[in-house]
Every structure is written in C-alpha cells, then in structure tokens.
Chains A and B, each alone.
Chain A
Amino acid sequence: MALKSLPLHEYLSPGHRLCAGCGEGVTIRQILKAFDEPPIICNATSCLEVSTTPFPYTAWRTPWIHPAFECTGAVAAGIEAAQKALIRKGRKKKWNVVLGLAGDGGTYDIGLQALSGALERGHKFIYVCYTNDAYMNTGIQRSGATPKAAWTTTSPAGRVIPGKTEWQKDLMKIVVAHDIPYAATVSASYPMDLQRKMRKTIQADGPAFILALSPCPRGWRTPPHLTIELGRLAVQTCMFPLYEVENGQYRVTMKPKRKLPVEYYLRPQGRFRHLFTPKTRQDIISEIQAHVDKKWEELQRLEQLT
C-alpha cells in the first residue's frame, strides 16, 4: 500500500475552521481515507465538532450527527442497532460503517461510561478517540489524558506545583479489558500504519477502537509546522507507542530503531517549558523517562506473552 493508492475523496471538506496546523485535521482526513464510501459519523462535542459545523456550514460529506459531549458510544450503539433492525425488516438496503469520533475529554473522562457500555454490549462500530491531551475546546484544561508535568490552565506550572501531578490514564488498557476484537494506537505522522489499522477496524466483527495522538499547536504551545514532527517524536521516544491488540494479541507496529530520550519530545513544547527553564528539572524528566521505559517494557512483554 502506498500513498498514491489512497482515495482522492475528502469526506472532511476544506474550509473547516480548525486551527492552522491542527493535528485533528490531519488525523481525521487520514482516517476517512480508509473508507471506500462515507461512514455514518457521530461526533462528540469537541474542537473538531465546533470547527467543522458552524451553521450554516458543514465540512462533512458524510451523514453526521452531534448530540452531546459524553454519549458518542451510546449514540453509535443506537445507530448500529437501528441499522440492524431496518435492514432485517427490509427498510434499509445495505450496511454502512458506524464511526464514533470523540476527543480525550469525551473519551477518557466524561464519555468513558458510554464507551464502556457500548464496548461491553458488542455493537459493531468504530470508535476513534483523537487525543490532544487536554480540553482544548474550552481553552486547554487538564483531562485524564494530560501527561504528567504538562502545563494546562487547570494544572498550571506554579511556583510550588510543576504542572499536572498525575500520570496519564492508560485508556488502551481499559479498552482492551473489554475483550473487543480490535484496538490500536495511531499517529497521523505514520499515515500507512494508520491506514492499515483503520482498514482492520472496518473488517472487525464487533467494536473496534482507535486511539490517535493529535498534536495541538495552541494547547501544546508549539509552532503549527511541527505538528507531524511532534507526532513522530512521541512515537520515537515511546511516549506514544504505536501498537495494536487484535483478539487479545499485542503487536507493536512501529519499533523505533533508536529509542530517543523523552527530552526530545518534551523540550520543543511550551507546555513543558517549566521543566527546562529557568532551571532544568532533571528529577521530573528522569521520572517521566523511567515511567515511559517501564510502560514500553511492559508493552513489549505483552507482545511476547500474547
């Protein structure tokens, strides 16, 4: 599979109002390229939702519904169930893929229950969580996805407390615990890896889950042209490893040739500036490095075990 083989269609049209250099724009465009015909999308309240549908404009060329923030899993379940019933009763001709889209706030935090319920009930749908590590839509507040030590407006880097004091929630483990057929992490910086995984979600016989790291120039305090580079660094430092869990089997899909120190990922980002200036907080950086190392080893062990 090569980039040239990807379809020309843009189910998310240009003219949307995401920030310049927004990781969500790239991620969603790439995700939609995995589809040969438009999926039915339900979208949680988020930057993506707000920026793509200011009335009377829509950037969506697919059927698209946005009911609220925390209910993407449940709405997708309803769409799937309706399709099943309507097809069975002869009122709808063919099956369309159901795609749930939600950010980290709408998934890690407020939407976790609806997601869990939908996964447990085994609805056939794809859920994509595009995470930019915080509530960017409301102005950069901490979420369960915010990495340790990151500055946000509700986990400020103060004189006493240096940014977020807790580790990021391991959402993948929670999702995988539902024993669904397919779950994977993706990054738009690795488009063919993303395509391959998305195509697997379409084939999955049951719920499939995708966690996509979506760099946010505004919230991460980074220049817009670095969006793809940061995604790459997240993978190369193993801060955000690319892997998939297919029917319980772990597989790391992108092993860095040389695992970079986390500092490479942290230093370019304004949200971690307080770790480097006025003086370098080596203690925190080392702590993050140790944590990443531990998680990375654990992931590799899981790959061997399963």
Chain B
Amino acid sequence: MKTWDEVPFAGYILEPGNAESYKTGDWRSRQKPVLSQEKCTFCLLCWIYCPDGAIVRKEDAVEIDYYHCKGCGICSYECPSGAIRMKSELEET
C-alpha cells in the first residue's frame, strides 16, 4: 500500500470512476438475476431501475454485469415480461 509520499496530493482521487474495478458482485449472498433473452422485450426498465448500473445496455439487448450486481432483485421484480428470474446463489455453487 502507498506511503505518505506516494498517495496522491491531499488524498484527491485522480482516476475518475475507478470504483468500477471494485467487485460488488461479491456482495450477492442469496440470489442472482438470470435473464432470458427470448422473453426480453428491450423495454429498458431493468436498466433504468438498477441502482448499480449492473444492467449493461447493448445495441438491442441488455446483459447482466455480475461483476457489479449486488442481487437486490429490483430488475426481476420490475420486469413486465418476466424475463428476469432470481435464482439462488447456492444453486449456482
């Protein structure tokens, strides 16, 4: 870890958005959202309602960014077409 003469000036953070490298996906303890591309209508509600920016919007589809998804389940609850199902993390492992 950085010493006092190595930390940036006055504790400023000079790399905007470097929190992106921090894996909040590890916070998921119970369930993870799983997206069914067939059912998805690309309405983008999951994208706009995600607190973590963990729904990645592509040209004509969305993807779930598990590196950052905290598993809150908003996307699944709000999805009008039932395209996102919450699956147990235990099931995964």
Q: Direct A–B touching in the complex (beta carbon < 8 Å)?
A: yes
Identify the A interface with B (CB < 8 A): 3-4, 6, 8, 10, 12-26, 29-30, 33, 52-53, 55-62, 188, 191, 217, 223-229
Min Cβ gap B64→A in Å is 12
Min Cβ gap A118→B in Å is 25
* Cα–Cα, bound, A21→B78 (Å): 12
Q: Which residues of B contact A225 (CB under 8 A)?
A: 72-74, 76-77, 86
Indicate whether B34 reaches chain A with its CB closer than 8 angstroms: no
Q: Which residue of A lies closest to B24 (CB)?
A: A15
Quick check: A228 and B49 within 8 Å, CB to CB? yes
* Cα–Cα, bound, A21→B7 (Å): 33
Tell me the chain B residues, 2-37 only, with Cβ under 8 Å from chain A.
Answer: 2, 7-8, 11, 13, 15-24, 27-28
Quick check: B74 and A61 within 8 Å, CB to CB? no
Q: Which residues of B contact A52 (CB under 8 A)?
A: 19
Q: Which residues of B contact A25 (CB under 8 A)?
A: 50-52
Quick check: A20 and B70 within 8 Å, CB to CB? yes
Q: Chain A CB within 10 Å — which of B47, B49, B72 has the most?
A: B72
Q: Which residue of B lies closest to A38 (CB)?
A: B16
Identify the B interface with A (CB < 8 A): 2, 7-8, 11, 13, 15-24, 27-28, 43-45, 47-54, 57, 65, 67-68, 70-74, 76-78, 86
Quick check: B19 and A227 within 8 Å, CB to CB? no
Quick check: B49 and A188 within 8 Å, CB to CB? yes
The contact of B72 among A14, A30, A53, A224, by CB within 8 Å, is A224
Query: Can you list 17 pairs linking A and B with CB atoms under 8 Å apart?
Result: A3-B45, A13-B18, A15-B20, A15-B21, A15-B68, A18-B52, A20-B51, A20-B71, A23-B51, A29-B53, A55-B11, A57-B18, A58-B17, A60-B16, A62-B16, A227-B51, A229-B77
Min Cβ gap A197→B in Å is 15
* Cα–Cα, bound, A18→B23 (Å): 13
Q: Which residues of B contact A228 (CB under 8 A)?
A: 49, 74, 77-78
Min Cβ gap A214→B in Å is 10
Quick check: B19 and A58 within 8 Å, CB to CB? yes
Q: Which residue of B lies closest to A22 (CB)?
A: B51
* Cα–Cα, bound, A45→B27 (Å): 24
Known: A16-B24, A53-B13, A56-B7. 15 other contacts (CB 8 A): A3-B44, A3-B48, A8-B57, A13-B19, A15-B19, A15-B21, A25-B52, A30-B48, A52-B19, A55-B13, A56-B8, A58-B13, A58-B16, A59-B19, A229-B78
The contact of A56 among B18, B50, B77, by CB within 8 Å, is B18
Q: Which residues of A contact B51 (CB under 8 A)?
A: 18, 20-26, 29, 227
Quick check: B48 and A61 within 8 Å, CB to CB? no
Q: Which residue of A lies closest to B27 (CB)?
A: A20
Q: Which residues of B contact A15 (CB under 8 A)?
A: 19-24, 68
Quick check: B54 and A14 within 8 Å, CB to CB? yes
Quick check: A61 and B24 within 8 Å, CB to CB? no
Q: Which residue of A lies closest to B30 (CB)?
A: A20
For the complex of A and B, list the 8 residue pairs with the smallest distance between their C-beta atoms, beginning with the closest: A25-B51, A225-B73, A21-B72, A13-B17, A20-B70, A15-B19, A14-B68, A224-B72
The contact of A14 among B20, B45, B73, by CB within 8 Å, is B20
Q: Which residues of A contact B54 (CB under 8 A)?
A: 14
Min Cβ gap A68→B in Å is 15
Q: Which residues of B contact A23 (CB under 8 A)?
A: 51
